[in-house]
Structure 1
Amino acid sequence: MTAQPEFYRDQFPYSTPPRIVWDGTTVPTALPEDIFITDTTFRDGQQARPPYTVKQIADLFDFLHRLSGPRGIIRQSEFFLYSQKDRDAVYACMEKGYEFPEITAWIRAVKQDFALVKEMGIKETGILTSISDYHIFLKLGLTREEAMNQYLGIVEAALEAGIRPRCHLEDVTRADVPGMVIPFVQKLMELSRQSSIPVKVRLCDTMGLGVSYPGAALPRSVPALIHTLRSETGIDSSMLEWHGHNDFYKVLTNAASAWLYGAGGVNGTLLGFGERTGNTPIEAMLIEYMGMTGDTDVDLTVITEMAEYFGRELQYEVPPMTPFVGKQFNVTAAGIHADGLVKNEEIYNIFDTGKLLNRPLGVQVTDKAGAAGVAFWVNAHLPIPGGETIDKRHPGIQKMTAWVAEQYSDGRTTSLSDAELMEAAREFLPEYTKMLKV
């Protein structure tokens, strides 16, 4: 092993944004038959927000269980064990008796922590095994050989305790793949064969540097990284997991690419909470999973319940334009879009959000909504007899549209509330509002 660190300055100059280097090598896709999600809401997710209470953790664990569906798509959830509160939360979740997600631990890479894992009856734990020279030389002050020997000693201790180790290869997208990553994983696979205990590998894109582009070079190429590990070490897809961050807006694409090129698992958090820019959002990966597999057994309405819980119980307001969970994600403010939605919602809706997410389409009425936007709001909020719709050319809609425009004549910049619009409807469409309660 080299005594000098490899920092890949051609890709990571630091004085400029990272470079994407191309070697022209493309690798075949290898989507596993069984792909799944693992959760780190209570580990990485808690490092990016105020800590949850024991009750809140237990409630969120219920959501994870319900989102797992009958196939256990959310296979595992990892927990800290350091404090008494951490352990109380684990026990509260254990008492529920769920098969999925399985409770796993995350500990420091020190042998004495395995006693705590075993004492609590947890069968698997994550172990931090930093893999890039940035971490080995600059953070740990070790050589590659010293780091590898230290890591292998910890893994052996886990195996001796009868615990499945899951090695977290921190900063893998800045690591020397042929010189450090492959030799380390090869040794892990040998330990697994000797002990007859699975040794898992989590590929941690700690800085969000991974790219999914065909022909990109290692260590940043997600396809090449997954393919190389599988072909050079023999690791099974079920033992290989991806953990990404969103520093460069690539977290979802990289996670899906990890599946596509042979990783069985993708690790994420509810609402994407995680250090800095966050982790892969579990709710997004569930929809990606359904698109890749055709599985329709997941109850996606639980996603909406979960997001509402964060607002109600945790006072967290989801950014409004967040896909699937934000207040504005399927709300249009454009009159031309509203016109299409009135005719057929498939024209401008991504899928049946009313049925699948319990999130009916909405419209934001401003001076840009036009008669079509007003008509859409009216048809969504008023009891129209016989399931009919009111056309945008209806005299009452035209008068209400003129009223909307008038509200913005003095420089108003906020959208009209449902209460304001309902008062206008009572004035301009009394034949449809007379049955409504005040």
Structure 2
Amino acid sequence: MSDGTGEREETTLFGDHSETTHLSDVEAVQFLDTTLRDGEQAPGVSLTPDEKARIARRLDRADVDYIEAGSACTGPGERETISRVTELDLEATVTSFCRGIQRDIDLAMECDVDGVNLVVPASDRHVTEKVGTTRAENVGATRELVGYAKDHGLWVEVIGEDGSRADLDYLEELLGAAIDAGADRVCWADTVGHATPDEAVNAVSRLSELGPISTHTHDDLGLAVMNALASVAAGADVVHGTVNGIGERAGNVAIEEVAIALDHGYGVETLALTEVYDLAELVANTTGTQLPPNKAVVGQNAFTHESGIHTDGTLKDEAMYEPYPPETVGRERRLALGKHAGRAGVEAALRERDVEVDDDDLDEIVTRVKKIGDRGKRVTDADLLAIAEEVTGRERDRRVEVVDLTTVAGGGTPTASITLEVDGEERTEAETGSGPVDAAIEAVQAALSH
């Protein structure tokens, strides 16, 4: 809670509860990223070995501690993608998802992973109806599988699937047996996003007495971040999540949201936050799951200001309408122009582009910007510069001119050829793409990269 000066008063949400620790007193929190496994289970997402490798490198650069690279039991193609990640020699511990089957552990070892996330049924629904076993047999099988994996030198985390709907006494028995058998840690899993923060605290605080514990939350009730924070306060020191929160149904908890909440709200350092935005963009573009504009931390609008009042305030004091500087997460502040734009915002946008205007011209430019905004359109940089040229009667220097552009689509691979004049020098490039527009963009980037 803020006292109005930007300083934080002592909060009572976490810490005063008998089963929690104040989050500012938490020593360390790590992340297990499951974008390459749970995230890939989102409808329509399928990653190639090279794509998984690119994402894994960026996760490692962001100081993610554990990377679940996939599920080796899925098939030969998936094992190839996991092996591609393990070949990168990352700082992170690389793991494979494994069901409660010895063959899954063997397949994971073929991929040379550092460890396994061993998922065993925890709720009666999963124990009896899905797997068709008994509680006692499930505990015995889990103990044997952990021993087998540890005998082969693997790091082992045991996850009680559907743990948030399991009988807590039984879940404690199951995960306790895993710890006794040598598991490095256990995980409380809110597999279907069913739990409330109260339930997370109750379960995790109790299970944390067994040994090191992780938390795995989903966002079906919109509580994924809250449940992750509640879990940390209750004793979890590893948070499972995905970049941008992608995953099945409503998705997993977004690691960037938990990371900034811990850092900004409680002073707990986790990820290399300056790497977060580039990582988010890479995952969005690679998976085809685009970011909602209003997405916390990494959405387009997170540090964008259009309202005249907000823009004017931000120009006077950057913290006026932002909780933390955009540079914290690798972002830049952006002033958008539209129907809500004010004089200060338009003037600042022009100044950023080295365009100086007098007061009368500025008034006319603001009027024209608002007219475009009133038609429901966003004023782009090109629009603003064109308006300024027309109002002032001054043409700006053009460093880049399009001389020729040809695109070909249809039966074959879409291609584009472009000739640009850059600072008086002609450059011609041809590229292919997923469509004619994509090919044209690739050709432009190639020409500009000389």
The match for 1:44 among 35, 38, 46 is: 38
Structure-1 separation of matches of 2:261 and 2:324:
13
Partners of 2:287 and 2:20 in 1: how far apart? 44
Q: Is 2:52 the partner of 1:57?
A: yes
Match status 1:107 vs 2:98:
yes
1:189 to 179, 197, 203: 179
Letter of the structure 2 residue corresponding to residue 35 of structure 1: V
Question: How far does residue 293 in structure 1 lie from its aligned partner after superposition?
Answer: 6.6
Residue 306 (structure 2) pairs with residue 328 (structure 1): no
Give me the whole-angstrom Cα distance separating, in 2, the residues matched to 1:363 and 1:381.
Answer: 12
Given residue 29 of structure 2, which amino acid in structure 1 is its aligned partner? I
Contact 1:38 1:77 in 2 (8 A): yes
Conservation of the 8 A alpha-carbon contact between 2:29 and 2:270: no
1:62 is matched by which residue type in structure 2? R
1:287–1:376 CA distance, 2 compared to 1 (3 A) = same
Aligned match of 2:246: 273
Residue of structure 2 in register with 1:418 after alignment: 381
Residue 47 of structure 1, CA deviation: 0.7
* In structure 2, C-alpha distance between the alignment counterparts of 1:341 and 1:420, rounded to whole Å: 23
Determine the structure 2 residue equivalent to 1:84. Answer: 76
| From 174, 181, 185, the counterpart of 1:200 | 185
The corresponding residue for 2:408 is: none
Structure 1 segment 157-196 matched on structure 2, within 5 A:
157-178=148-169, 180-192=170-182
| Equivalence for 1:222 | 200
Q: Is the 8 A contact 2:188 2:214 kept in 1?
A: yes
Distance 1:343 1:436 in 2: 32
Letter paired with 1:371: R
Residue 35 (str. 1) matches residue 29 (str. 2): yes
When normalised by structure 1's length, the TM-score is 0.78
TM-superposed deviation, 1:85: 2.5
Q: Is the 8 A contact 1:32 1:263 kept in 2?
A: no
User: What is the CA distance between 1:274 and its match in structure 2?
Assistant: 1.1
Q: CA deviation at 1:394?
A: 2.9
Distance 1:312 1:163 in 2: 33
1:26 deviates by 4.4
For 1:188, the aligned partner's letter is A
Matched residues in 2 for 1:88 and 1:434: separation?
53
CA distance in 1, matches of 2:49, 2:342: 49
Instruction: Say whether the 8 Å CA contact 1:320–1:326 is kept in structure 2.
Output: yes
Relative to structure 1, is the Cα distance of residues 181 and 155 closer, same or farther in structure 2, using a 3 angstrom cutoff? same
In the aligned structure 2, how far is the partner of 1:343 from the partner of 1:310?
35
State the match for 1:362 in structure 2. Answer: 334
Amino acid at match of 1:58: A
Deviations 1:189-241 (A, max 9, x none): 3222xxxxx442111101212222xxx4xxxx11121211223x3x1xxx311
Kept in 1, the 8 Å contact 2:93–2:115? The answer is no
Q: 2:369 & 2:391 partners in 1: Cα distance?
A: 12
Shift in Å, 1:311: 5.2
User: Any unmatched runs of 5+ in structure 1?
Assistant: 1-23, 193-197, 385-389
Report the Cα offset of residue 113 of structure 1.
2.6
Distance (Å, rounded) in 2 between the aligned partners of 1:423 and 1:359: 27
Deviation, 1:296, is 6.5
Deviation for aligned residue 1:423: 0.9
User: 1:18 maps to which residue?
Assistant: none
- Equivalent residue, structure 2, for 1:375: 347
Task: Flag the 1:250–1:382 CA change in 2: closer, same or farther, 3 A.
Answer: farther
- Is residue 351 of structure 1 aligned with residue 346 of structure 2? no
Question: Residue deviations 1:396-437, cap 9 Å, x none?
Answer: 22111222233356xx22222221121112233567x74565
Q: Percent identity?
A: 24
Aligned residue for 1:9? none
Shift of the alpha carbon at 1:380? 3.4
Residues 113 and 301 of structure 1: CA distance in aligned 2, closer, same or farther (over 3 Å):
same
Partner amino acid, structure 1, of 2:187: R
The residue number in structure 1 matching 2:282 is 309
Going from structure 1 to structure 2, the CA distance change for 1:314 and 1:166 (only over 3 Å counts) comes to closer
- Is 1:148 aligned with 2:171? no
Which amino acid is 1:50 matched to? V
Q: Secondary structure at the match of 1:168?
A: strand
State TM-score, norm by structure 2. Answer: 0.76
Distance 1:206 1:102, change over 3 A: same
User: Could you give the per-residue CA deviations for residues 283-339 of structure 1, whole angstroms, max 9, x where no partner exists?
Assistant: 223323433674679543422222333455554422111122222221122221112
Q: Say how many residue pairs are matched.
A: 381
Does the 8 Å contact 1:76/1:102 carry over to 2?
A: yes
1-structure distance, mates of 2:318, 2:242 = 31
